[in-house]
Structure 1
Amino acid sequence: MVTTVPPHVHEGQAALVGKLAERGLLAPPWREIWERIPREHWLPEQIWVQRPDRCEPVPVTDADARYRLTYSDSPVVTQVDDGRTGGPGVATSANSMPSMVARMLGLLGLQDGMTVLEIGTATGDVASKLCLRAGDGKVTSVEIDAGLATQARANLARAGLAPAVHVTDGAGGWAPGAPYDRVVATCALRTVPAALLRQLRPGGVLVAPLVRDFASGLLARFVKDATTGTVTGSFHGGASYMPLRAHRSTVSSAVDGTTPRHCHALLDGQPDDFTDPAFGLYAGTRLPGVHMTGSPGRLFLWDGAGAGVLAEEGWAAVYGRGRDLWQELLRVWQEYVTGGRPPLGDFGVTLTEDGELRTWLRTPDAVVGPAHTVPTPRP
Structure 2
Amino acid sequence: MTDPQEGHAALVRSLDERGLLTPEWRAVWERTPRQAYLPEQVWRQDPDRCRPVTTAEERGALVSSDKPVVTQVDDGAADGPGVATSSNSMPSMVARMLGLLDVRDGQQVLEIGTATGHVAGLLSARLGDDRVTSVEIDASLAAHAERYLSAAGYRPRLVVADGEHGCPAGAPYDRIIATCALRHVPYALVQQLRPGGVLVAPRMGDFWCGALVRLTADEATADEDGTASGSFAGSAAYMPMRSHRGTTGVTPDTSSPRSRSTEVLPQETLTLGFALYAGARLPDVTLIEGRTEGSQGTDPRVWVHDSRGSGAIADADGTVTEFGECSLWGDVEAVWREWDELDRPTDADMGLTVTKTSERVWVRRPTGVMYPVE
| Superposed pair shares fold, TM > 0.5 | yes
- C-alpha deviations, 1:218-267, integer Å up to 9, x for none? 1000001246533111110000011111111124152113x561234466
Equivalent-residue separation in structure 1 for 2:191 and 2:61 (angstroms): 42
CA separation of 1:314 and 1:46: change in aligned 2, threshold 3 A: farther
Which of 7, 29, 32 aligns to 1:12? It is 7
- C-alpha deviations, 1:260-289, integer Å up to 9, x for none? 61234466x832221211110011111121
Aligned-residue Cα RMSD (Å) equals: 2.0
In the alignment, which residue of structure 2 is the partner of 1:119?
Answer: 112
In the alignment, which residue of structure 2 is the partner of 1:302?
Answer: 305
Aligned to 2:3, the other structure's residue is in SS state helix
In the alignment, which residue of structure 2 is the partner of 1:78?
Answer: 71
Equivalent-residue separation in structure 1 for 2:50 and 2:259 (angstroms): 33
- C-alpha deviations, 1:115-137, integer Å up to 9, x for none? 00000000000000010111010
Match for 1:329: what amino acid? V
Which of 231, 239, 243 aligns to 2:236? It is 239
Equivalent-residue separation in structure 1 for 2:81 and 2:307 (angstroms): 22
In the alignment, which residue of structure 2 is the partner of 1:362?
Answer: 364
- C-alpha deviations, 1:283-318, integer Å up to 9, x for none? 111112101122462322110221112334636553
Equivalent-residue separation in structure 2 for 1:314 and 1:218 (angstroms): 29
CA shift, 1:93, in A, is 0.4
In the alignment, which residue of structure 2 is the partner of 1:377?
Answer: none
Pairs within 5 Å for 1:103-114? 103-114=96-107
Instruction: Using the TM superposition, name which of 239-248 and 302-311 deviates more.
Output: 302-311
Which of 112, 115, 127 aligns to 1:134? It is 127
Matched, 1:87 2:83: no
Which of 258, 265, 272 aligns to 1:262? It is 258
Which of 150, 166, 172 aligns to 1:173? It is 166
CA shift, 1:326, in A, is 1.4
Matched, 1:225 2:232: no
Contact 1:318 1:324 in 2 (8 A): no
**Quick one: percent identity of the two aligned structures?**
51
Q: Which runs of 5+ in 1 are unaligned?
A: 1-5, 372-379
Match for 1:19: what amino acid? S
- C-alpha deviations, 1:99-153, integer Å up to 9, x for none? 1100100011100000000000000000000101110100000100000000000
CA separation of 1:312 and 1:155: change in aligned 2, threshold 3 A: farther
Aligned to 1:333, the other structure's residue is in SS state helix
Matched, 1:28 2:23: yes
In the alignment, which residue of structure 2 is the partner of 1:188?
Answer: 181
TM normalised by structure 1 equals 0.90
Match for 1:141: what amino acid? S
Runs of 4+ in 1 over 6 A off after TM superposition: none
Matched, 1:320 2:323: yes
Aligned to 1:332, the other structure's residue is in SS state helix
TM normalised by structure 2 equals 0.91
Contact 2:284 2:306 in 1 (8 A): yes
CA separation of 1:331 and 1:21: change in aligned 2, threshold 3 A: same
Which of 277, 282, 286 aligns to 1:287? It is 282
Match for 1:232: what amino acid? S
Equivalent-residue separation in structure 2 for 1:157 and 1:342 (angstroms): 46
Aligned to 2:4, the other structure's residue is in SS state helix
Equivalent-residue separation in structure 2 for 1:181 and 1:233 (angstroms): 16
Match for 1:244: what amino acid? M
Contact 2:68 2:91 in 1 (8 A): yes
Match for 1:363: what amino acid? R
CA shift, 1:16, in A, is 0.8
Equivalent-residue separation in structure 1 for 2:18 and 2:256 (angstroms): 45
Equivalent-residue separation in structure 2 for 1:146 and 1:234 (angstroms): 33
In the alignment, which residue of structure 2 is the partner of 1:209?
Answer: 202
Aligned to 2:269, the other structure's residue is in SS state helix
Equivalent-residue separation in structure 1 for 2:151 and 2:40 (angstroms): 16
Equivalent-residue separation in structure 2 for 1:21 and 1:326 (angstroms): 43
CA separation of 1:95 and 1:253: change in aligned 2, threshold 3 A: farther
- C-alpha deviations, 1:154-210, integer Å up to 9, x for none? 011111111111111101111111111100000011111121111111110000000
Equivalent-residue separation in structure 2 for 1:285 and 1:169 (angstroms): 26
CA separation of 1:265 and 1:52: change in aligned 2, threshold 3 A: farther
Match for 2:229: what amino acid? T
